[in-house]
């Protein structure tokens, strides 16, 4: 019997895409091999998380968010009128350009608020005349800046996955878990921002990435060789890392070309 990869285990889980003979072979192999059963159980848990509905925001979240945006817009409007919309956008987004703000989950909301502020400028931009040096409306600029931040987020996610699969040091893996936890929070916010801007393809991909980040974030401190091997097998037998790199490269190039 040929080796069983994770793609076949996924198809076996859904009973779809495999011939009856192959389904029987996999079922027999699961009965005979405990390591394979462990692999299959972890994969099923990951698939169940992926199927879970996204958590609902706290009551009043959207009202509080827009109230904060209105306040920020009121404070920034005089400065924007003096300097023009493009200079205003550059100044606003420079506040959140440090790595600490980008990667720390506790500050990720500040980035989304800034991006939403850019969206509001675009929404209200019909009332203002663009400066001669600006070729794109602020709403489009905000979308491109969102792409730039998501590209950095995906680079960090790739590093987290590779470290989790190959890292050996306890301190290194502990720090990696903390980073993964912050990336989970940021990932949800970026997915919501992408969906709000109409980029459903990016939003769907980020939602697909979340269960794997959750797996790394929730991994026990005493991570075993089998745990790392399971993640290595998953990354090797799927194209997740390729998708992360391809998506990061695509939006990074597009954002740099457009700005």
State whether 142 and 18 are in the same domain: no
For 187, the token pair is 């990932």
The answer to whether the beta carbons of residues 213 and 184 sit under 8 Å apart is yes
Domain presence at residue 1: no
pLDDT at 117: 43
Domain presence at residue 183: yes
Read out DSSP for 67-133? HHHHHHHHHHHHHHHHH-HHHHHHHHHHTT-SHHHHH-HHHHHHHHHHHHHHHHHHHHGGGSPPPTT
DSSP 15: T
Number of other CB atoms surrounding residue 169 within 10 Å:
10
For 154, the token pair is 């995906």
pLDDT at 219: 75
State whether 98 and 10 are in the same domain: no
State whether 32 and 93 are in the same domain: no
Q: Which residue has the tokens 């991570």?
A: 223
Distance separating alpha carbons of residues 188 and 177, to the nearest angstrom: 17
pLDDT at 110: 44
* Burial of 99 per CB tally in 10 Å (0-12, 13-18, 19+): exposed
Number of domains observed in the structure of the chain: 2
Rounded-to-10 torsion of CA 162, 164, 166, 167: 120
For 159, the token pair is 């590093």
State whether 179 and 242 are in the same domain: yes
pLDDT at 148: 78
State whether 87 and 142 are in the same domain: yes
Residue 140 to residues 72, 143, 145, 196: CA-CA distances in angstroms?
A: 20, 5, 9, 13
State whether 68 and 111 are in the same domain: yes
φ, ψ of residue 95 to 5 degrees: the values are: -65, -30
State whether 20 and 91 are in the same domain: no
* Burial of 251 per CB tally in 10 Å (0-12, 13-18, 19+): buried
State whether 67 and 140 are in the same domain: yes
State whether 137 and 247 are in the same domain: yes
Number of other CB atoms surrounding residue 159 within 10 Å:
13
First to last CA, the chain: 54
Element (H, E) at 28: helix 20-32
What tens-digit pLDDT sequence spans the chain (259 residues)?
Answer: 788 888 888 888 888 778 889 899 999 999 999 998 998 898 888 777 665 555 566 677 667 766 766 666 666 555 444 444 444 444 444 433 434 344 444 445 545 544 554 444 444 444 444 444 444 444 566 667 777 788 888 998 988 888 777 766 555 566 778 888 888 888 888 888 888 878 888 889 999 899 888 888 887 766 566 666 777 777 777 778 888 888 888 887 766 655 5
pTM of the model: 0.48
3-state SS, residue 33: coil
Q: Which of left, alpha, beta for 60 (phi over 0: left; psi -120 to 50: alpha)?
A: left
The answer to whether the beta carbons of residues 213 and 179 sit under 8 Å apart is no
Domain presence at residue 12: yes
Domain-ending residue, one of 18, 33, 51: 51
The domain in which residue 21 lies consists of: 6-51
Domain presence at residue 56: no
State whether 13 and 95 are in the same domain: no
Domain presence at residue 225: yes
State whether 14 and 112 are in the same domain: no
State whether 93 and 178 are in the same domain: yes
């Amino acid at each position: 019997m040929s080796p069983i990869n994770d793609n076949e285990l996924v198809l076996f889980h859904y009973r779809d895409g495999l011939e009856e003979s192959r389904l029987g072979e996999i079922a027999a192999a699961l009965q005979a091999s405990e390591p394979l059963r462990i692999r299959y159980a972890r994969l099923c848990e990951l698939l169940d998380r992926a199927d879970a509905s996204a958590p609902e925001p706290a009551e009043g979240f959207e009202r509080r968010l827009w109230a904060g945006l209105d306040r920020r817009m009121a404070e920034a409007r005089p400065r924007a009128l003096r300097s023009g919309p493009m200079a205003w956008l550059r100044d606003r987004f420079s506040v959140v350009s440090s790595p600490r703000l980008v990667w720390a989950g506790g500050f990720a909301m500040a980035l989304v608020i800034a991006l939403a502020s850019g969206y509001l400028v675009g929404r209200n931009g019909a009332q203002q005349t663009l400066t001669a040096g600006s070729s794109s409306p602020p709403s489009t600029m905000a979308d491109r800046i969102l792409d730039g931040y998501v590209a950095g987020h995906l680079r960090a996610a790739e590093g987290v996955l590779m470290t989790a699969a190959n890292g050996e040091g306890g301190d290194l893996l502990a720090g990696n878990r903390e980073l993964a936890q912050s990336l989970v929070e940021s990932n949800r916010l970026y997915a919501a921002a992408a969906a709000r801007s109409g980029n459903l393809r990016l939003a769907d991909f980020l939602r697909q990435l979340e269960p794997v980040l959750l797996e790394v974030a929730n991994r026990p401190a005493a991570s075993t060789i089998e745990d790392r091997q399971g993640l290595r097998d998953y990354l090797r037998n799927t194209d997740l890392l390729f998708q992360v790199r391809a998506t990061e490269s695509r939006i990074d190039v597009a954002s740099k070309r457009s700005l």
